[in-house]
Structure 1
Amino acid sequence: MATIIPIETPSLGDRSYLVHDGATAFVVDPQRDIDRVLDLAQREGVSITHVFETHLHNDYVTGGLALARKVGAGYYVNGADRVEYERTPIADGDVVRVSDRLSVRAIATPGHTFTHLSYAVYEGDEALGVFTGGSLLFGATGRPDLLGPEHTEELAGRQYDSAHRLAEELPDSAEVLPTHGFGSFCSAGSTTENATTSTIGAEKRSNPAFSQARDQWVRETLDGLDDYPAYYVHMGPANAAGPGAPDLTPPARADREAIARSIDAGHWVVDLRNRTAFASGFVGGTLNMGIDGQFSTYVGWLMPWGTPLTLLGESPDQVAEAQRELVRIGIDQLAGAATGKPSEWSDAPLKTFERATFADLAHVRHHRAVSVLDVRRASEYDDEHVAGAVNVPIHELLDRLEEVPDGEVWVHCASGYRAAIAASVLAGQGGKAVLIDDDFGEKAARAGLPMDSTG
């Protein structure tokens, strides 16, 4: 039996795949850091002979070209895609014989992009599964708006049709193997919570694309589209140009003076520690984007593209992990890095801010007036929010600082990660921020806080 192994990238909400028959392997949608794929193939004792791309990705820089060149594999990219490198063009209906046992059939599934392909994998005559990229996801589909508003409605309709084509051409037993949908902003709508596997039959029973009429589904999909990270605009061009393998050489050491100069120049100096450690003592002017969350997504979303970036971490391993995350979205050059304790990074006194819970907020509101800043996306705020809270989504905060109330500001998101970024921004501006490091969905209403909605 063929072996299908997902390669997870949780910080981007994506999966790549390695598939083999015990000797010969192919890869679908590899991330930029191809050493993970090469190490997996070595552990499995297989040779990679084919690399397939479902589409020109919008949320990460591909490792497909670099991987194919490294191992001498065929690199299969839709022949209709305009790219600046040599590839093996593939089109709807083409069948690629990977080995005596495995073959791959390309299926046109436009919707996420116009040239999107899915790949059905067969062992003999049996369809084992289909690699759906940004087409059919677990309980949802890929979003149709990444190519511009002028194409969104047409692509939404095509996405619906593509899902139905897959359901018609493949057996219910075939596995659905998407690239997106595990927290990726490339998803349209909510994917099935905590799902790790699915099949065509399961999707036909549970995915709204199969339970709603086309017009209704398109309308609800368009109505549900939300903001996506600003860095996405740079990914398509990078993937069309043909990215090489990343250089993961450790960045130059940044000493106290270099860190101070970077902060004074308005460059980005990012503290990778978790929010608990950061709140207890940090260098003024640094931003907290912990490596324990969707680090690369929020760096790419908030940081002006091309801004010099310095990383501060507890250990070289923490910096190396962050560097790996960054090359996945095309941030290859770092100004420097420092490790250790914040007292080693600056001569100035360290700053702190208070951490609290929603119960603390409910208590303090009985005694004094404080402002509440909700940095979740507008759609989250509209569904339910603390009455009187000001909503400035985290990805808009740097451009809307004048809307943040004066005085003591209690800042929250859904769980604390985005709020910690916001608290570090406000502290850097000289404000008094209190981080609500708590679960909004479970704790806010239970704490007795008055709630409201605008949806």
Structure 2
Amino acid sequence: MFFVDTVATPGLGNHSYLTGGRSAAVAVDPPRDIDRMLAPAARRGVRIARVVETHVHNDYVTGGPELARVTGAEYLVPAGARVSVPRTPVTDGDTVDVDDGLALHALATPGHTPHHTSYVLREDGRPVAAFTGGSLLIGTVGRPDLVEPRLTRELALAQHASAHRLAGELPDEVPVLPTHGFGSFCASSQATGDATTVGEERAANDALVKDADTFVADLLAGLEDIPAYYAHMGPVNASGPAPVDLTPPRRADAEEIAARLAAGEWVVDLRSRTAFAEAHVAGAFNFEADGKLATYLAWLIPWGKPVTLLAESPGRIAGAQRELARVGIDRPAAAATGGPADWLRDGEAPRSYPRATFADLAAVRGRGQDAVVLDVRRDSERAGGHVEGSVHIPVHHLRERAGEIPDGVVWVHCAAGMRAAIAASLLDAAGRDVVAVDDSFEAAGRAGLTVVRP
């Protein structure tokens, strides 16, 4: 009898897997914090005998080499991947034993990367699960533009062929277990749901219902910007990441926080956007611990810039430190807990700015008052409709394009409030007067604002 345990990383939109039988298991695409793979193995009383990668990842730092070292497992990596860590190269058709009656079969599925490999778990020769990495996802496929721009069209065609290979070789009832696609920017479009099968994908996945030319044209037309930190993940994974260090960062007092801000370092307040708007240290940025912290902080911060974390509790700091380590932001320069009263020097007052709804914005416009409306959503979101007269700068471009925002009070919005809070904090730190619209974009039209639709 086999098992499959899913180890989810919601902040990055990824799943890792532990699969095996009574005594031995395989870890598939493990995260950098390998204790999350060791825990289910210990709970089940199985030995991790092999660690496999579907590809060299661009969206997170792998825990593969370290997990293999700690457990003594064999480390399997697609043969075409250029990596400098000790590994066993895997080629199309290779089969490795997992446990009694269980084996893992490698299928070359290029597209997300040229060397991408999926793994089919077989029980007594029968396919029972397909670990598809960044190939066949839930309702979509992994994006083909992360390796080299000149290869994008070629890899998109390869994604179509790989999806058809998987659908052609596997029965309808086999579960499809991708690594990406649960909110990950590695997906070529947003996947829906948490579970799927080969049969369900055969009926609905664009790669399986569209001809190759139509599929490629539609896929390439829908690709979004690539998170900036992706450029650093592939090289880190190819050279072999250092073991993760999750020991607590040094504690900073108010004087040190002020000094770090004066030096141009990043001070990141992890509290809720509500708490931050009410009172915060001037110059700090707001990235909510409960949001997509790693994705957006790693996307916006100049790579290698020291970061100091502020939060209500040590637990919040520890959680953020773990999440950031998954994308290569290894050691916070310092951290502090409590609230603004603990982080400000004597005599300093906290900064604040208002939060509002789209109804509030409509009321301001109705009174004829000036209001600069800044939309920080992605291009694809804006294409579905935007507030008339709004300025559009996606949040990940805001630092370099803030000079394009007209003078006046800036009412900043996104789709639901999280990215607007990030943007508002960036603008507030730069000295702009801001109002953070903490509301669903769907409320804009109902509030009486003119929403321009395509």
What TM-score do the two structures reach when normalised by structure 2?
A: 0.98
- Cα distance in 2, alignment partners of residues 444 and 206 from structure 1: 32
Residue 380 (structure 1) aligns with? 381
- AA aligned to 2:397 is E
The CA deviation at 1:22 is: 2.7
- Map 1:286-435; keep pairs closer than 5 Å: 286-347=284-345, 348-367=348-367, 368-435=369-436
**Higher mean C-alpha displacement, 361-370 vs 294-303:** 361-370
SS at match of 1:421: helix
Secondary structure of the corresponding residue to residue 99 of structure 2: coil
State the secondary structure of the residue aligned to 2:445: coil
Letter in 2 for 1:305: W
Letter in 2 for 1:13: G
Maintained 8 Å contact 2:138/2:181: yes
Of 222, 225, 236, which residue of structure 1 is paired with 2:223?
225
Name the residue aligned to 2:122.
Answer: 122
1:28 and 1:51 in contact (8 A); partners too? yes
Check conservation: 1:3, 1:19, Cα contact below 8 A. yes
1:153 corresponds in structure 2 to 153
Q: Secondary structure at the match of 1:266?
A: coil
Structure 2: which 5+ runs fail to align? Answer: none
Q: Partner of 1:134 in structure 2? A: 134
Supply the AA of the counterpart residue of 2:81.
D
Q: Distance in 1 between matches of 2:4 and 2:242?
A: 26
1:29 counterpart residue number: 29
Alpha-carbon distance in 1 for matches of 2:175, 2:211: 24
Structure 2 distance, partners of 1:189, 1:244, is 32
In 1, the alpha carbon distance for the partners of 2:109 and 2:95 equals: 16
Report how far residue 27 of structure 1 moved: 0.7
Aligned residue number for residue 101 of structure 1:
101
Q: State the Cα distance separating 1:325 from its structure 2 match.
A: 0.7
Q: Secondary structure, in 3 states, of the residue corresponding to 1:407?
A: coil
1:416-455 to structure 2, matched below 5 A, reads 416-440=417-441, 442-453=442-453
SS at match of 1:147: coil
1:161-218 Cα shifts (integer Å, max 9, x gaps): 00000000111111100000000000002312xx111000000011111111110000
1:309 positional shift: 0.7
SS at match of 2:86: coil
Aligned to 2:67: 67
What is the DSSP-based 3-state SS (H/G/I as helix, E as strand, rest coil) of the residue aligned with 2:77?
A: strand
CA contact (8 A) 2:85 2:239 kept: yes
Matched residue of 1:89: which SS?
strand
Structure-2 separation of matches of 1:82 and 1:394: 33
8 Å CA contact 1:65–1:244 kept in 2: the answer is no
SS at match of 2:12: coil
Q: Could you tell me how far apart the structure 1 residues matched to 2:238 and 2:412 are?
A: 40
CA contact under 8 A between 1:375 and 1:411: conserved in structure 2?
A: yes
**3-state SS of paired residue (2:320):** helix
Note the C-alpha offset of 1:46.
Answer: 1.4
Report the equivalent of 1:5.
5
Question: Does the 8 Å contact 1:63/1:244 carry over to 2?
Answer: no
Distance 1:300 1:379 in 2: 21
Provide the residue aligned with 1:265 in structure 2. 263
* Contact residue 50 and residue 73 of structure 1 kept, 8 A: yes
- Range with bigger deviation, 380-389 or 7-16: 380-389
> Could you tell me whether the CA contact under 8 Å between 2:412 and 2:436 is conserved in 1?
yes
2:241 aligns with one of 231, 240, 243: 243
Residue 333 of structure 1 deviates from its aligned partner by 2.2
The unaligned stretches of length 5 or more in structure 1 are none
Q: Write the deviation string for residues 386-420 of structure 1: whole angstroms up to 9, x where unpaired.
A: 11110011000000111112111110001111100
Q: Is the 8 A contact 1:356 1:437 kept in 2?
A: yes
CA contact (8 A) 1:34 1:245 kept: no
Q: Which amino acid aligns with 2:122?
A: Y
| Most deviating of 379-388 and 315-324 | 379-388
Match of 1:180 in 2: 180
Q: Secondary structure at the match of 1:277?
A: helix
Aligned residues: 451
Moved over 2 A (4+): none
Q: Give the superposition deviation at 1:86.
A: 0.9
Residue 204 of structure 1 corresponds to: 202
Deviation for aligned residue 1:289: 0.3
* Amino acid in the other structure paired with 1:16: S
Cα separation, 1, equivalents of 2:189 and 2:85 = 34
8 Å contact kept, 2:257–2:267: yes
In the alignment, residue 416 of structure 2 is paired with which amino acid? S
Give the one of 201, 211, 214 matched to 2:212.
Answer: 214
Q: Using the alignment, how far apart are the partners of 1:62 and 1:32 within structure 2?
A: 5
Quick check: 28-37 or 363-372, which moved more?
A: 363-372
Contact 2:142 2:187 in 1 (8 A): yes
Q: Does the Cα contact within 8 Å between 1:411 and 1:423 map onto a contact in 2?
A: yes
SS of residue in 2 equivalent to 1:174: coil
Q: Which amino acid aligns with 1:319?
A: I
SS, match of residue 25 in structure 1: strand
Distance in 2, matches of 1:12 and 1:189, equals: 15
Query: How many angstroms apart in 1 are the aligned matches of 2:194 and 2:143?
Result: 20
CA shift, 1:220, in A, is 0.4
Residue of structure 2 equivalent to 1:256? 254
Judge conservation of contact 1:17–1:30 (CA < 8 Å) in 2.
yes
Assess if the C-alpha contact under 8 Å between 1:56 and 1:239 holds in 2.
yes
Following superposition, the deviation at residue 69 of structure 1 comes to 0.5
Contact 1:373 1:392 in 2 (8 A): yes
- TM-score (structure 1 length as normaliser): 0.98
- 2:20–2:99 CA contact under 8 A, matched in 1: no
**How far, CA to CA, are the matches of 2:390 and 2:263 in structure 1?**
33
- Counterpart CA distance in 2 for 1:198 and 1:141 is 13
User: Equivalent pairs: percent with the same residue?
Assistant: 54
8 Å Cα contact 2:250/2:333 also seen in 1: yes
Note if 1:41 corresponds to 2:45: no
Task: Kindly state the Cα deviation for residue 379 of structure 1 after the two structures are TM-superposed.
Answer: 2.0
Residues 1:283 and 2:281 aligned together? yes
Amino acid at match of 2:226: Y
Q: Distance in 1 between the 2:68 and 2:404 partners?
A: 49
Measure how far apart 1:327 and its partner are.
0.7
- In the other structure, the counterpart of 2:57 is 57
Opposite residue 100 of structure 1, the aligned amino acid is: D
Residue pair 1:24, 1:48 contacting (<8 A) in 2 also: yes
